[in-house]
Amino acid sequence: MTHNQVIFVGTVEREIKAFTGEKPLVSLFLKGDTERGSVFMPVTVRGELAQKLISKVDNWQVGDEVYIEGELDWESYEKNGEKKYQTVILAKNIYKIEGV
């Protein structure tokens, strides 16, 4: 059995997009720092977790630090008539890190 799990801590780099309705979705774009530089990662939150997060993201803003647990996944989109794919984190838990 294989296991796909990722933990990512980063800052919100773009305005958070939230979509309500039958299939709630929240989309974030985060920046994390590594020894070799910065890495940028799209994050998707779906279902019940997205529904809970939608009521909170109005208080989240660019620059906030976020902790994510999830799994690596991929999404497709079209650009200039060509199908593209990108790796994303599919969030299972997500928390805004509050300063003390």
For residue 99, pLDDT beyond 80: no
From the list 18, 54, 14, the residue with the least C-alpha distance to 30 is: 14
pLDDT at site 58: 86
In tens, the pLDDT along 21-76 reads 889 999 999 999 999 999 999 999 999 999 999 988 889 999 999 999 999 999 99
Element (H, E) at 18: strand 17-19
